Amino acid sequence: MARFLLQVLEREVTYKWNPKTRHKIKCLFVAALCRMTGDGSPVTFTKFEEKKNAEKGRRINTVRRLFWGTPSPPPKGPEPSESFAAVLKAYQNLEPGDFTGFLKLLKSPASRRLQSRCTTFLDTMETNHDLPVQKQSDLVQDFYQSFAEYFSRGGTSGFHEAQITQLMEHLEKLMMTRLHKWVFCHDSCDDEQKDLALQRRIRSLNWVTPEMLAVPFPNKKTSASGDPFLPAITAIIEMDAKRAPQDKLACVSKCSQHIFEALSTSNSEPANADDFLSGLIYVVLKANPPRLHSNMQYVIRFGLPHSLMAGESGYYFTNLSCAVAFIEKLDGPALNLTPEEFEGYMQRRYTPGVGSRRQQVASDTQQLLDELKGRQERLDQGVDALKVELHQWVQAVHSQFEEVTTQFSLVQQELSSQAENSQDVSSLSDEVSLQENSEDHSVVTAQGVVQE
């Protein structure tokens, strides 16, 4: 029995490295040996620890052989095969966050050896992509450590801790962008099944309201597009589209910052840790992010340790883990509900806030009707005013037309009288001219008679 348990324990440690399972089997092994000895004396795990340390040593030597070419690290100081000072100077001048510049430096002649080691490690990981995911995680973490040791071995002339951290972040993004398709949601683990189970669990809890979670929410009515937590929901959904663990952590940080902004608009007081965790749980329930469990495990396995153990990103990621654990174990008392009420909500027999929602809908409908009524009244008033103006304009046009007609008649009469006067004057002038002509003729005739 003891030999069988020891074989199971060694196989679990060698291939899976699952801490919970390893601890459980270890406890069973201790209990079995205690029962076999009969005296209950404690049993040591010397051989187990030796095998564990030997396995770790083999992994480190493998990575060192890929990185340095030998199973042991080279001595500190300038390395003979390349100018360490040139590499040091090139990477020290790198601007923070300049990933493109890092790639250019890595392709430069001074970094030819570093590039070769990175390429060799990537090819090795892709060739052995069928290894258990935990073993792949150990190899990647050992490679991170070897890379950090390479840049920190320069003594006082080496890199500062902040510079090494920056280079490690660039390295992580480079390596995991390439390895993402091989190690994410690996076949050797049950991440896919847990993703489906978590999505079903979140979908079954879509009835949970902010009031049940004690999330400070605006009292004013907000539409779907006006939800203050909508930017946070969008940010957490974007996490699945990223490849590098640090980019996934950046989405978690962005989501958390949007939550704090939403809480600040919903509450006059600064948000505390409890409000933030409640808001994060609400965002996860509303977003139901795709492959959430796989994304979190991917960050844990292949992310840089300092990103998860320090800083804002580590704090936000820890809260996300707590939110997921809370959702998985959510029950009635956590929402101030009785077990019967919680079961009724889960089976869709109850709907939260039916009466209040009906009242809200009725109030909104009445408000909309009042608004439409007011708009109709204003429209009717405008139509009446327009009719009055149109009538006045028609009357003004008629009066102007009559005035013009009258003036036109007067002008016609005046023109007619002037024409008649002109005819009379013309007739009179003709008569006068005839009379003058006849007089002239008479005078001429008289003069002729006298001369005779």
Contact present, 327 and 201 (Cβ < 8 Å)? yes
Least confident of 205-214, 417-426, 441-450: 441-450
* CA–CA distance, 236 with 328 (Å, rounded to integer): 18
Query: Do the two domains 81-183 and 190-350 of this chain adopt the same fold?
Result: no
pLDDT tens digit string along 121-173? Answer: 999 999 988 999 999 999 999 999 988 887 776 544 567 788 888 889 999 99
State whether the Cα torsion 130-131-132-133 is positive or negative.
negative
Contact present, 172 and 144 (Cβ < 8 Å)? yes
Among residues 70, 188, 58, 183, the alpha carbon closest in space to that of 122 is found at 183
Question: Taking 70 as the threshold, does the pLDDT of residue 37 lie above it?
Answer: no
Which pLDDT score is estimated for 301?
95
Instruction: Specify the CATH number of the domain 81-183.
Output: 1.10.246.120
Structure-token pair, residue 192: 């896919």
Which pLDDT score is estimated for 52?
54
DSSP states of 414-432: HHHHHHHHHHHHHHHHHHH
Domain positions in the chain: 81-183, 190-350, 359-404
* CA–CA distance, 305 with 245 (Å, rounded to integer): 11
What's 239's DSSP letter?
A: G
What CATH superfamily classification does 190-350 receive? VPS9 domain (1.20.1050.80)
Among residues 313, 124, 333, 293, the alpha carbon closest in space to that of 201 is found at 293
* Share of residues in the chain with pLDDT > 70 (%): 69
Which pLDDT score is estimated for 77?
44
Residue whose pair of structure tokens reads 């910052």 in the numeric block: 257
Average pLDDT value for residue range 252-280 = 88
* CA–CA distance, 381 with 377 (Å, rounded to integer): 6
